[in-house]
Chains A and B, each alone.
Chain A
Amino acid sequence: MTMKLSARQHKQRLGFSLLTLMTFLTVIPIIGVVIYIVYLGFPAINLEFLTGFPREGMRDGGILPAIIGTFYLTLGTAIFAVPLGIGSAIYLSEYAPDNRATKLIRIAIINLAGIPSVVYGLFGLGLFVLFLGFGTSILAGSLTLSIMTLPVIISTAEEALRAVPQAFRTVSMSVGATKWQTIRKIILPQALPGILTGVILGLERAAGETAPILFTVAAFFLPSLPNSPLDATMALPYHLYVISTQVPGMPIKIQYGTALVLLVFVLSMNLIATTIRSRARAKRQW
C-alpha cells in the first residue's frame, strides 16, 4: 500500500490555500488605505497645520477649528450617549422581563443600528435644529450623533454584562445582597472593560461620521473657535469633504493631511479600546 496523499486530502489543501488567500486579500485594502494616506498626507503635517486656522481660502494654514470641533462633538456625544446607553444595557441585561415589550425594544435597537446615517442627519435637522430650536449647533450635532451611536453602545454593553457568569449573581444574592448591590459591586466592575470598549467603538464611529453633522452642526468655514454648545463648528470629516470637492485649486497634501489627522484620531481611539480589552482579558478571573 502506498502512502500518497489521497484526492480528498489534496482537495482539503486546495481549500485551505483558497481561504488563506481570501483572508490576505481583505487585509490588502486596509493596509493600502493607511499607507496611501500617510504617504500623501504626512508632508502636510507640521505645527501650523495642527494649531493654526485655515488661510488663503483654506488652501494654506491649519485645521485647528476642525480638530477642536470634532473633539467637542465626540465629547458631546459621550455626555449624552454613555449614561443613556449603559443605563439601557443594565436594564435590558439585568431587569427586563422576558416578554413582548422587551423583544420590541431589542428589535428597535437592532434596527436603529441599520438606519443610514444621512437619515439620522435629516431627523436631527428636523427635531433638534428646527423643532427644538437649537439651531445648527454643537448641541444639535451631539444629540444627533448620540442617537446614532446608542445602538452600538447598548448592544456591546449588554453583551459585556451578560458575559459575567450567572453564578456570581446567585452567590451575591445568597449572602443577602440586593439585586442593585450585586450589579454595582460585582457585575458592573467585571463588565466595565467590555462596556468601555463598546463606548469607544461607538464614539469612534460618531467622530468619523459626515452626514449627521452636515445637517445639524458643521460649518463650511468659521473664523473663530466655538464658544458655547449652541455655536456651530467646523469638523474634520465635513472639512475634508469641503476641501476635496468645493474649493478649486486645493493642494492635495492639505486634503490628505486632513484625512491623516482624522485617521489618527479614530485609529488611536480604536487602539485604546483594543488595549483595554486585551488587558482585561489577561486579568479576568473567569
Chain B
Amino acid sequence: MNKISIRNLTLTYSDGVQPLRDISFDIPANQISVIFGPAGGGKSSLLRSLNRLNDLTDLTHQKGSILLDDQELLDPTLDVIQLRRRVGMVFARPVVLPLSIRKNLTYGLEVAGETNKDRLLEVVESSLKKAALWDEVKDRLDDPAIALSGGQQQRVCLARVLALEPEVVLLDEPTSGLDPISTGKVEESLQDLKKEYTIVLVPHSVQQAARTADQAIFLLQGEVIEVSSGDLMFTNPQEQRTQDYIQGRFG
C-alpha cells in the first residue's frame, strides 16, 4: 500500500539549477523510507516538496506529479496549510520556537483553531511520550524550550510534529547534531512511530540509513539511482555507483 507516489518530478529553481531531475518512486505506508546519498544530491529539496515547504523559497517550477493518497500535491490550488498538518517535518537543526515546552507542542494545534484545554493537555503528554521525552520534562513543561539540551530540543521538534497527528513524518538529518545516545533514542522511537505513521528519513550517515531503512532510495546529483528494500540495498546493491558510495569510495 503506497502512501506517496512520485512520478517524473523535476524541480527547477529560478537561477536554472535543477536539484531534482525526473525522479519517480513510491513511499509505502507505515514503513521507514530512507533517502540517502552525498550532499547536494537533492535530498532536502525532495523532502521539502512533500509538504510544499519549497513554496517558501524562490522555486519557480515543479513538473511531474506527487500523489498523497491519490491527491495531487503539486496542484496550485491545494491548501498547503492543511497539507503541512498531514505531512509534518523535523529539520536537521533543532529549532524550538521561542516559547515554553508546552506551547511548542500546542502551537500547531492552536494556530489551527484548537481551543479545548483538555485536548491540548492530552496531546502534550501523548506526543512527548511518543518522542521519548515525557519523563525528562514532565515537571517543567512551562520552562522555555530553549533551556533544554540539543538532544531534548530535537525530540521537542519531533513531538511538535507528532502533536499535529500527521499521516507522514519527514525527517531531514534529525540526528546530525546529536550525541550517540540521543541518536539512539530518536532511532528507537522511529521504530515505534512507523506503526502509526509513514516515515521518510534523510539519514546523516550511511550507517544510520542501514540501521533504519525498510526501504532505501539512493539519490545522486538530482537523480534516483536505485530503490530497494533496506536489507538488499546495504548488502547487495545492484548499481555500481550505489556500491561505491556505500563502501565509501566517494561522497
**Interface residue tally for chain B (C-beta within 8 Å):** 25
Knowing A170-B56, A186-B97, the reply to whether A175 touches B107 (Cβ < 8 A) is yes
Q: Which residues of A contact B144 (CB under 8 A)?
A: 285
**Which residue in chain B gives the minimum CB-CB distance to A286?**
B98
B81 and A178 form a contact (CB under 8 A): yes
Contact (Cβ within 8 A) A176 B85: yes
CA distance A178 to B85 in the complex (A): 12
Known interface pairs A176-B85, A186-B98; A170-B111 also in contact (CB < 8 Å): no
B5-13, B87-95, B197-205 - the one binding chain A: B87-95
* A169, B97: Cα distance in complex, Å: 9
**Are B98 and A177 neighbours in the complex by a CB distance under 8 Å?**
no
Q: A167-B91, A172-B111, A175-B108 are in contact. List 17 more A-B contacts (CB 8 A).
A: A165-B95, A167-B93, A168-B95, A169-B56, A171-B91, A171-B97, A174-B51, A174-B84, A174-B89, A175-B161, A176-B85, A177-B81, A177-B111, A181-B111, A185-B111, A186-B99, A285-B98
Q: Considering only CB atoms, which chain B residue lies closest to A186 in the complex? A: B97
Judged by a CB distance under 8 angstroms, whether A173 is at the interface is yes
Is A190 interfacial (CB 8 A cutoff)? yes
A181 to B112: give the CA distance in the assembly, Å: 10
Q: B123 interface residue, CB < 8 Å from A?
A: no
25 sample A-B contacts, Cβ–Cβ < 8 Å, listed by A number: A165-B95, A167-B91, A169-B56, A170-B53, A170-B56, A170-B91, A171-B97, A172-B107, A174-B53, A174-B84, A174-B88, A175-B85, A175-B88, A175-B107, A175-B164, A176-B84, A176-B111, A176-B112, A177-B107, A178-B81, A178-B111, A181-B111, A185-B107, A185-B111, A186-B98
Flag whether B160 is at the interface (Cβ < 8 A): yes
Closest Cβ of chain A to B202, distance in Å, is 15
B146 at the interface (CB under 8 A from A): yes
> Which B residues form the contact surface with A (CB < 8 A)?
51, 53, 56, 81-82, 84-85, 88-89, 91, 93, 95, 97-99, 107-108, 111-112, 144, 146, 157, 160-161, 164
In the bound complex, CA of A189 to CA of B88 (Å): 25
Given A174-B89, A175-B84, A168:B97 Cβ within 8 A = yes
CB of A46, distance to nearest CB on chain B (Å): 49
Q: How far, in Å, is B232 (CB) from chain A's closest CB?
A: 33
Chain A interface, number of residues (Cβ within 8 angstroms) = 20
Query: Residues of A contacting B53 with CB < 8 Å?
Result: 170, 173-174
Closest beta carbon of chain B to A38's beta carbon, Å? 42
Chain A residue contacts of B160, Cβ below 8 A: 175
Bound-complex Cα distance A178 to B98 (A): 17
What is the chain B residue whose CB lies nearest that of A168?
B97
Docked CA distance A97–B46 (Å): 25
Q: CB distance B95 to A167 under 8 Å?
A: yes
Q: Which residues of B sit under 8 angstroms from A286, Cβ to Cβ?
A: 98, 146
- A167 cross-chain contacts in B, Cβ below 8 A: 91, 93, 95
Which A-chain residue is minimally distant from B90 (CB atoms)? A174
- Give the chain B neighbours of A171 by CB distance below 8 A: 91, 95, 97, 157
A285 with B108, Cβ < 8 A, contacts A174-B53, A176-B81 known? no
Q: Is the CB of A173 within 8 A of B164?
A: no
Complex Cα distance, B146 from A190, in Å, reads 14
- Shortest B223–chain A CB gap in Å is 26
Which of A165, A175, A189, A285 is the one whose CB lies under 8 Å from B111? A175
Mask of A196-240 contacts with B, CB within 8 angstroms, 1/0: 000000000000000000000000000000000000000000000
Contacting B at CB under 8 A, from A120-176, are 165, 167-176
Instruction: Report B-chain residues with C-beta under 8 Å of the C-beta of A173.
Output: 53, 56, 84
Chain B residues contacting A168 (CB-CB under 8 Å) are 95, 97-98
A174 to B84, CA, bound (A): 6
